[in-house]
Structure 1
Amino acid sequence: MPLPEINLDDRTFEQLYQELIRRIPAYTPEWTDLNDSDPGVTLVQLFAWLAEILVYRINQVPQKNFIKFLELVGIPLTAPSPAVTELQFTLVPKASATSVLAGTQVALGSGSSGQQVVFETDFDLLVTGLTLVSVQSYNGLQFTDYTAANALYASLGYPPLSVTPQANAALYLGFDNTFPAGTNRLTIHVAQGPTPAPVQGGVGTPTLAAPSVEANWQYWNGQWTQLQVQNDTTSALTKSGYVTFTAPTDGQLQQFGLLTKPGDQPLFWIRYFIQSLVGSGYDNVPMLSGILLDTVSATNSVTETAELLGASNGRPNQTFQLANFPILSGTIAVDDGNGYAPWTEVDDFDGYTAMSQVYTLDDATGLVTFGDGIHGGIPPRLPGNGSNLDSADQTNVMATTYKWGGGAAANSGANTITTLLASIPNLQGVSNPLPSYGGADEESVQDAEDSAPMILRTQNRAVTVSDFAFLATQTPGAQIKRAQAFPLLNPNFRVLSSVIDGSPRVEVPIPGAVTVFVIPDSLQLPPVPSENTLQLVANYLDARRLLTCELYVAPPHYRQVRIEVQVVANPAFDLGTVGDAVLKQLLVYFNPLPPGGANKTGWDFGGTIYFAETYRQIFNVTGVLLIKGTLQTYVDSVLQTPCTDVSIMPDEIVYSANHGVIVTYS
C-alpha cells in the first residue's frame, strides 16, 4: 500500500512562538520586556522559525525511512497475495460441450461490497455438461456405493479403493454419457479429516514421495483399455489435484458393479485400477471428499495487456504509473525505434550500468522507475514530429502484460463467486463449490515494525522456541496466523501442567525434539491447518533448524467451549440486538485467532478459562443489565463446576462455535 502521510507535530510557527513566550515567566521572571523590539524576543522568533523547519522535515521521513532501512537489509513489506478457488461451470440444458478459455473472468456475487473482486481461470476447460451418476469402490471381491458420500462432500470422506487397498482394487466412476472430444478434466479432493497428523521436518515432501501402488486410469469400450492421461497430480489419490485426459472415441455405455439390474441406466465408466502394490502399499488409506466435473482453478487477479504508459523524455529517473495496482506480476517494454523489447525488473539499480535495460516496479503503487543513466539505462526519447516539446514525443513505454489484484477481500464462502463478466455461449452459470482461500492484504507498516526486530534477531535461523514460532508464521504461502513451539516434545506425547506450580512439563522429554503447533488464518471453526500446510511449514523450518534438532509441525489440540447464560437487558434496548451482541462477544473472546482472548491477540495456549472474566465479557456488552442465575460453562460438552476456573493443558487452546444466550427484560 502507499505509505501514509505522517504528521508527528502539526504546530505552526505562531504556535511555537507563543509557547516559548508563555514559558519565559517560569524560567526567567526578570525578563519583562516581551515586545518585538527586544533582542531576546527576536531570538525566540528565530528559534521558533528553525523549530518549524525541523518539524516539517521530521514529518517527511520517519516511517518512510524505516521502511527503506528494512528494504536495505532485505526485509521489504510483504506483498498482497491473491486468493485461489475452484470454479464449476454448468451448461444450459441439452447444450453441447463448450470451451472456457484460461483468463475467463468471474466475480463475487452482488452481495460483495467495495471494489469488484474478480477471479480469472488458470487453465482452459472443456465444460462437458455430464453428470457423475455413480461412484463405487471395489476391493477385489465386492462393490461399495459411495455416490451419496461423494455428493455430500463430507469432510471425513470415503475410501475410494476400500479400507484395505490391494491389487485389483479400483475406483469406478459412472457418467451419464461419453466424454466429448478433446481434453477433459476431473478434479479430485482428498478428505481433510477432523485433524491431520503431525508432519516431521526433513523427511521429504508428499509430492516427491514415490507412489505406493502401480495403478492406471482405464475406460470401458467393451473391455478395459488404458485412458490417455495427460496429467495426474493426485499422487495415487493421496493428494487433492486433477486428472486431465484425452476423451476416447470408442467408449461404450454399460451396466457395472451395483448397477446391473434390468432397470438400471447403462453408463460410461472409467476406473482407477491398482495393478500391484509397491512394498507394503499405502501408509494411510486414501480418503476422498469429492470428485467434481467441469471445474478449473482460478486466481483473484486481473490481466491487463498492451497498456501504454507514456513517452520517454530521455531524462534520468523517469517514472510511469500503471493504471491498476497492487501488481502481482508484469513485464515492461520499451521501444527504441526498432519495436518494443522487454526490459528486466530489478529490486534497485545498484550494480547496473548505463547500458543495463532495467527498471524497478513498486508492486503496491504500480510505479515504474527507470535509471539515471549511470546506474540503470534511460529509455530513449523518440521525437514524434520534430518538436522539442515533451508532449509531442512518441509514446514508447508500455506494459506488455501484468496481473493485478490480491487481498483478503477475495476470501469468501462456497457458492459466492457467481457472476460471469462476459457471456459465453451455452453456459448457464458458474459457482465455487468450496470457499476461496489464501488472499492476504499487503503487510501494514505497523506489522512490519512489529516483525522486523524478530527477523533481524533470527537471521533466518531457528534456535530458540520463539524463533521456531515466529518463523512458522513467516512461511511463504502458508497463511499461518499464530504458532507456538514446545521444546523436548515429540507429538506422540503431551505437554502436561506441573502439579506443583502448573508450569509446562513434557510427559516424556525427548532431547533435541521441537514441536510447533500452527494455527492458520482460516474462516473455519476451529481453524485447522491442512496436511499440505503442515508440510509447507515443516519444509520451511527444516531449512532453518539446527542440525541436531528433530522437528515436528502439528495442528493444535482444541477444546470447545460453550457458555449458557440468561441475560437481563436494559428495557431501553432491543432483546434481539442485545442477544446478538452477547453471542458475538463470546465468540470473539473464545477464539484462537485475534481479537480473541483477554489480550485480543488470540486465546493463549494453555490459557485458563476464568469464570470472572467470562462474566466481565458479558457485562461489557451495551444493554446488559445483569446475569440471571448461574452462568454455565461446557468444555467439550462436559458441564464444569459453576463459578470455578477451568484449567487446560499447556498445549491446548480453546474455540467456540455457538453459545446458549437467553435475553429477557426481567
Structure 2
Amino acid sequence: MGRASIEYTNKDYDSLRRELLARVPQLTDRWTDFNASDLGVVLLELFCGVGDMLAYYLDAQAAEAFLPTARQRQNVINLCKLISYRLDGPVAATTSLRFTLAASLDADLVIPEGTACRARLAEGDIVFETAEDTTIPRGQTSVDTGARQGERKTETFTATGEPNQSFLLAGTNVAHGTIRVEVQDQEWTEVLHFQESGGDSLHFQTDTDGLDHTRVFFGDGLRGGVPPGGAQIAVDYLETLGAGGNLGSGLVSELLNPIYKDGEQVALTVTNPVPATGGADRETLEHARKQAPAEVRSLWKAVTKEDYLALAEGFPGVAKAQVLDVNDCKNIRYYQVNMAVAPDGGGPPSSLLKQELSAFLESRKVITIEINLFDPVYRPVTVDAEVYAYAGEDLDLISSRVEQSLDEFFAFERMAFGAPVRFSDLVAMLDGVRGVSHVHMYAPQQDIDIGPGEIAALGQVNLDVRRAS
C-alpha cells in the first residue's frame, strides 16, 4: 500500500472528514463499514471536530499578529505601539461658555480654569469645565471661553521609590489628554515615550488597555525620573461622556463653582452660545487600522495634502477634514493651506478644538506655510417625492421607514467633504425600503454637486405616501 498524500490546506470539518475517509482504504483493507453508526467513523468524526477547532484557533492566533486582520482590541493596541501610534480613548466634547454679569464691575473679574458648569437634561446632567483662566474686563459684562465636557476626578497614590512605578486609575472613561500628575505638589509632564527623558526628567506616561483601564507610568531613573519613596502622587483627570457630551446651544445654564470678588460672591449667569461638538467614544479598531498607516506615511510631518489630511483626521475630536491648496482654488496662495474641519458628531468645530488643532499642525508644518482652518458648510438637500406602497401596507409605517432611511442615507458619518449626492443612489435607496413599490421624485431630479468644504445634509422632506394602483 502506498503512502497517501496529505492536503495541508484542509482545515475544516468536512475537508478533514473526506481526507481521512479517503485514506482508510490505503492503510487497511479490513475497515469496510463507513456507516455513521460505525464506532470507527464516530471516532474519526470526533477527531475531525477537534482538528477543525484547533485549526480555527491557529488561524485566529495568526490573524491577531497583523493589523488588518486583528480583532481583539488589546492586540490592535500592541501592534499600533510598534509604529508609535496610540489609540484614542474617549474624547471630551468642547464648546464656548459665555459668562455674563448683571452689571459691569470697576475691576477685572477672573474666572479660573476648571470652573464647572452644568446642563440639566431629562436623560441626565452634563458637566463642562473651563479650559483656561479667563477675565471679564473692567467695564464689560460678559466673556466667552473654551470648555470641555467632563467631571474632574482626583486620585492619590503613595510612591514606593522603585524604578518603573505604575498606578492604575479607577476611572474607565478618562478623557483623552486630560491627565495631570503632581508629585509632592510639583507638576510632571506627560510624554509619549521616555527615549528623550533624562534620569531627573519629571515625565510620566499613560497607557490604556483593551478594557479601558488606564495606568500612569514613571521612569527607571535612567529614562525618566523616579518619584521618591513616600511621596504623595496626585492624579486628576476628566471623566467624560464621550459622544454623549455633544449637545445643542443654550443648554448649559448652571454655574457649579461660585466666583468671588473681594470675598463676596459675584452674580453670574452662564450659557453655551454654540453647540458642544467633537465628543467621541473610544477610537474604533476600524479607524485605527486606517489611521495608523496614514500617520506613519506622513512621518508626523505636514508637507503634502495627504500629510495634512492624515494628521488632522487623527487629531482627537476631528471626524473628517478636507485640505484645499492652490490647485483647488485660484484664490489660495501657493504658501497657504486651507482646511475644512468637521468635528465628531457633526456640526461646527468649537473655537477650542480649532485652536488646539492649529497649534498641533503648526508644530509639524513647513515654516513658510500659512494654515487657515474654517468650518464646514452643511449643504441641505430637499427631498420631495411621491412614495407608492404595496397593497395592505400601513401608510404611516411606510412613511416612518422612508424617513428613517433618508436619515441614514444622509447621516454625517456617511457623507464626505465634496461628495456628490447621486440621484440614482437616492432612488435605489427609496425603492429598497420594505413595503415600497416605487417612488416618483420631484426633488432632486438629478445629481447634486457638492462643492469644496461642503457636506451634504438632509434638508426639508416632503413625502406623499400612497397606495400603488
For residues 112 and 361 of structure 2, the distance between their equivalents in structure 1, rounded to whole angstroms, comes to 35
* Alpha-carbon shift at residue 632 of structure 1 (Å): 0.8
> Where in structure 2 are the equivalents of 1:486-497 lying within 5 Å?
488-492=327-331
Q: State the TM-score, normalizing by the size of structure 2.
A: 0.66
Q: Which has the higher helix share?
A: 2
* Alpha-carbon shift at residue 450 of structure 1 (Å): 0.4
* Cα offsets for 1:586-627 (capped at 9, x unmatched): 344346x4224xxxxx3753x3633x3222211233343443
Higher mean C-alpha displacement, 367-376 vs 655-664: 367-376
For residues 375 and 515 of structure 1, the distance between their equivalents in structure 2, rounded to whole angstroms, comes to 38
User: Which of 643, 648, 652 in structure 1 is aligned with 2:449?
Assistant: 648
The residue number in structure 2 matching 1:118 is 127
- Structure 1 pair 562–358 and aligned structure 2 pair: CA distance change class (3 A): closer
For residues 205 and 397 of structure 2, the distance between their equivalents in structure 1, rounded to whole angstroms, comes to 52
Q: Supply the AA of the counterpart residue of 2:169.
A: L
* Cα offsets for 1:463-487 (capped at 9, x unmatched): 665445444534x578361326577
Higher mean C-alpha displacement, 535-544 vs 369-378: 535-544
User: Which of 244, 261, 264 in structure 2 is aligned with 1:409?
Assistant: 244
For residues 106 and 441 of structure 1, the distance between their equivalents in structure 2, rounded to whole angstroms, comes to 22
* Alpha-carbon shift at residue 26 of structure 1 (Å): 3.8
Q: State the TM-score, normalizing by the size of structure 1.
A: 0.50
The residue number in structure 1 matching 2:414 is 595
Asked if structure 2 preserves the Cα contact closer than 8 Å seen for 1:24 and 1:31, the reply is no
Aligned to 1:415, the other structure's residue is in SS state: coil
* Alpha-carbon shift at residue 657 of structure 1 (Å): 1.6
What are structure 1's unaligned runs of at least 5 residues? 1-14, 93-97, 126-182, 186-243, 248-269, 271-291, 383-395, 494-509, 597-601, 635-639
Higher mean C-alpha displacement, 558-567 vs 460-469: 460-469
1:369 aligns with 2:380: no
- Structure 1 pair 102–587 and aligned structure 2 pair: CA distance change class (3 A): same
User: Which of 417, 421, 443 in structure 1 is aligned with 2:283?
Assistant: 443
Q: Supply the AA of the counterpart residue of 1:326.
A: V
- Structure 1 pair 483–31 and aligned structure 2 pair: CA distance change class (3 A): farther
For residues 275 and 292 of structure 2, the distance between their equivalents in structure 1, rounded to whole angstroms, comes to 32
1:566 aligns with 2:386: yes
Let me know the Cα RMSD of the aligned residues. 5.4
* Alpha-carbon shift at residue 355 of structure 1 (Å): 6.9
Q: Supply the AA of the counterpart residue of 1:662.
A: D
Asked if structure 1 preserves the Cα contact closer than 8 Å seen for 2:321 and 2:417, the reply is no
* Cα offsets for 1:517-569 (capped at 9, x unmatched): 635237677x6998x9599669938964697x998877778764322112234
Count how many residue pairs are aligned between Structure 1 and Structure 2. 425
Q: Supply the AA of the counterpart residue of 1:119.
A: F
> Where in structure 2 are the equivalents of 1:387-426 lying within 5 Å?
397-399=232-234, 401-405=236-240, 407-418=242-253
1:320 aligns with 2:316: no
For residues 103 and 535 of structure 1, the distance between their equivalents in structure 2, rounded to whole angstroms, comes to 17
For residues 451 and 442 of structure 2, the distance between their equivalents in structure 1, rounded to whole angstroms, comes to 23
For residues 480 and 450 of structure 1, the distance between their equivalents in structure 2, rounded to whole angstroms, comes to 13
The residue number in structure 2 matching 1:599 is none
Aligned to 1:369, the other structure's residue is in SS state: strand
> Where in structure 2 are the equivalents of 1:178-217 lying within 5 Å?
185=136
Asked if structure 2 preserves the Cα contact closer than 8 Å seen for 1:489 and 1:515, the reply is no
The residue number in structure 2 matching 1:609 is 422
Aligned to 1:106, the other structure's residue is in SS state: strand
* Alpha-carbon shift at residue 304 of structure 1 (Å): 3.1
For residues 337 and 189 of structure 2, the distance between their equivalents in structure 1, rounded to whole angstroms, comes to 42
Q: Supply the AA of the counterpart residue of 2:388.
A: V
* Alpha-carbon shift at residue 413 of structure 1 (Å): 0.2
* Cα offsets for 1:472-506 (capped at 9, x unmatched): 534x578361326577343449xxxxxxxxxxxxx
> Where in structure 2 are the equivalents of 1:64-83 lying within 5 Å?
64-78=74-88, 80-83=90-93
The residue number in structure 1 matching 2:178 is 329
The residue number in structure 1 matching 2:322 is 483
Asked if structure 1 preserves the Cα contact closer than 8 Å seen for 2:280 and 2:317, the reply is no
User: Which of 286, 289, 299 in structure 1 is aligned with 2:148?
Assistant: 299
Q: Supply the AA of the counterpart residue of 1:482.
A: A
* Cα offsets for 1:333-364 (capped at 9, x unmatched): 55xxxx67665544344466777665422266
What are structure 2's unaligned runs of at least 5 residues? 1-10, 32-37, 103-108, 260-264
* Alpha-carbon shift at residue 110 of structure 1 (Å): 2.6
The residue number in structure 2 matching 1:518 is 340
Asked if structure 2 preserves the Cα contact closer than 8 Å seen for 1:478 and 1:536, the reply is no
The residue number in structure 1 matching 2:299 is 459
* Alpha-carbon shift at residue 417 of structure 1 (Å): 2.5
Asked if structure 1 preserves the Cα contact closer than 8 Å seen for 2:96 and 2:144, the reply is yes
The residue number in structure 2 matching 1:540 is 361
Seq. identity, %: 26
Q: Supply the AA of the counterpart residue of 1:304.
A: K
> Where in structure 2 are the equivalents of 1:248-287 lying within 5 Å?
none
Asked if structure 1 preserves the Cα contact closer than 8 Å seen for 2:96 and 2:146, the reply is yes
> Where in structure 2 are the equivalents of 1:617-656 lying within 5 Å?
617-627=429-439, 630-634=440-444, 640=445, 645-646=446-447, 648=449, 651=452, 654-656=456-458
1:581 aligns with 2:401: yes
Q: Supply the AA of the counterpart residue of 2:321.
A: R
The residue number in structure 1 matching 2:8 is none
